Amino acid sequence: MNVLDLARSQFAVTGSLHFLFVVLTLGLAPLVAIMQTRYVLTGKPVFERMTRFWGQIYVINYAVGVFTGLVMEFQFGLTWSGLSHYAGDVFGAPLAIETLVAFFLESTFLGLWIFGWNRLPKKLHLACIWLVTLTAYASAFWIMVANSFLQNPAGTVLKDGRLALTDFGALLSNPSLVAAFPHVIGAGLVTGSLVIIGASAYHLFRRTTEQEFFRRSLRTGVVWANIGIVIAVGAGYAQFGAIGDLQPGKFNGTAPGVALGFMIGFANILHLIVFLVLLPLLIRDVLARSRWIHPILMIMTPLPFLIAISGWLAREIGRQPWLVYGRLRVQDAMSPGLTTGMVTLSFAAFAGVLGMLAIVDYLLIARAVRRGPGQVALGAAEEGAPSPAPALAL
């Protein structure tokens, strides 16, 4: 492989690994917020336990995934400085907003939510997790604004050999963004829901003592998986019109065609399974009592991750050989002076770090799932300590 192929492969591998964390975070955040809302509205302890248990899974994935985002930032600076020189004034703006506004706010509200258990009033604590969700979606929105600019550099003109932004509104109403963002949100909901379904099936199959807890979790997962699939599939098909106008022939190549076919085929199969099989079996808790189907549900857990990665690959490979479509070729966006040895070394380092983080993430999540809701640290009162009074009162 030459230096260009290595650089492209490096970005594909690291971007895919980073997206595994993102798509699960986007899926679990609103589901945890919904569980806590049900607890605040009904006062039922089972919803509080569900919030703490699935919230701990969310926190594990978020905490480990933060480092993968940093690796991606390093990669842009080391390997793709040509992009920064040519389009940094435009491409860097949404990334800066994402970092300074969305990411820091998300981290702040998440910290308040983690350490606010038993200290903040219930409604204020509930507001924290909803703000975490909204800022997580805002973060995803600005990332998609930046990516959509690469797909279609709307609202820009060429000045002195560099792209300059002339219409911020055009950047936000980019046809490449309008349907792609809800498509990502739908994919996230499906991923988070399938993780909940798979983990619940594990406990139901093993007949652990938390049957009621995981029956409710299974029901929540199936309902929101169906909603997420409808959003993802609908928004996915809605993109084809804009793609045909902006990037004709995008999926003609073998690689994007295979990735797109995998995504569409398995997404439709998953939709049929959830809508025609799993949803009807929720009646009278037949799904929770049908032990034979639980191993199948566990095996299905990685499927939305694979579908999401396939969709991302189809979107990115179909843009080749352009980095900024129609304006800047990939080979011209690379940092000058890079050698095969340098890119190979950074490829191994980045892929190694991200791969290790992914393994650690899933091992921690698997351990938390196996332990069950009886050993959740998030929000647990200190042993032997009196029940703490809220630090604030409304």
Q: Residue 382 domain-assigned?
A: no
My answer on whether omega of the bond before 321 falls inside 30° of 0, hence cis, is yes
The pLDDT value recorded for residue 390 is: 53
Task: For the beta carbon of residue 377, count every other beta carbon within 10 angstroms.
Answer: 9
Mean pLDDT of the 270-274 span: 95
The 10s digit of each residue's pLDDT in 183-218 is 999 999 999 999 999 999 999 999 999 999 999 999
Judged against a pLDDT cut of 50, whether residue 310 lies above it is answered with: yes
Pairing of strands 162-165, 322-324: unpaired
Q: Which two tokens stand for residue 313?
A: 């690959």
- Kindly report the length of the chain: 394
- Residue 84's alpha-carbon distances to 90, 157, 189, 345, in angstroms, are 9, 16, 33, 22
CA distance 55 to 173: 33
The 10s digit of each residue's pLDDT in 144-182 is 999 999 999 999 999 988 999 999 999 999 999 999 999
Q: pLDDT-derived band of residue 394, with 50, 70 and 90 as boundaries? A: very low
Mean pLDDT of the 60-77 span: 84
**Overall number of domains in the chain:** 1
- Residue 56's alpha-carbon distances to 177, 271, 367, in angstroms, are 32, 28, 11
Which has the higher per-residue pLDDT, 381 or 85? 85
Q: Residue 390 domain-assigned?
A: no
- Residue 52's alpha-carbon distances to 55, 207, 221, 368, in angstroms, are 5, 21, 16, 12
Judged against a pLDDT cut of 90, whether residue 99 lies above it is answered with: no
Identify the CA nearest to 377 among candidates 11, 56, 151.
56
The pLDDT value recorded for residue 387 is: 53
Judged against a pLDDT cut of 70, whether residue 227 lies above it is answered with: yes
Radius of gyration (C-alpha) of the chain in whole angstroms: 22
Q: Residue 185 domain-assigned?
A: yes
The pLDDT value recorded for residue 74 is: 80
- Residue 393's alpha-carbon distances to 42, 121, 164, 253, 389, in angstroms, are 20, 6, 50, 60, 9
Q: pLDDT-derived band of residue 382, with 50, 70 and 90 as boundaries? A: low
Helix (H) or strand (E) holding 234: helix 211-246
- List all residues 6 or more positions away from 46 whose beta carbon is below 8 Å from its beta carbon: 212, 213, 216
Domain range for residue 207?
3-371
The pLDDT value recorded for residue 284 is: 92
Q: Residue 228 domain-assigned?
A: yes
Q: Using DSSP, state whether 171 is helix, strand or coil.
A: helix
Q: Which two tokens stand for residue 202?
A: 């594990």
The 10s digit of each residue's pLDDT in 5-51 is 999 999 999 989 999 999 999 999 999 999 999 999 999 999 999 99
Q: Residue 97 domain-assigned?
A: yes
The pLDDT value recorded for residue 384 is: 59
CA distance 23 to 62: 11
Q: Which two tokens stand for residue 43?
A: 């006062």
Q: Residue 350 domain-assigned?
A: yes
0.85 surpassed by pTM: yes
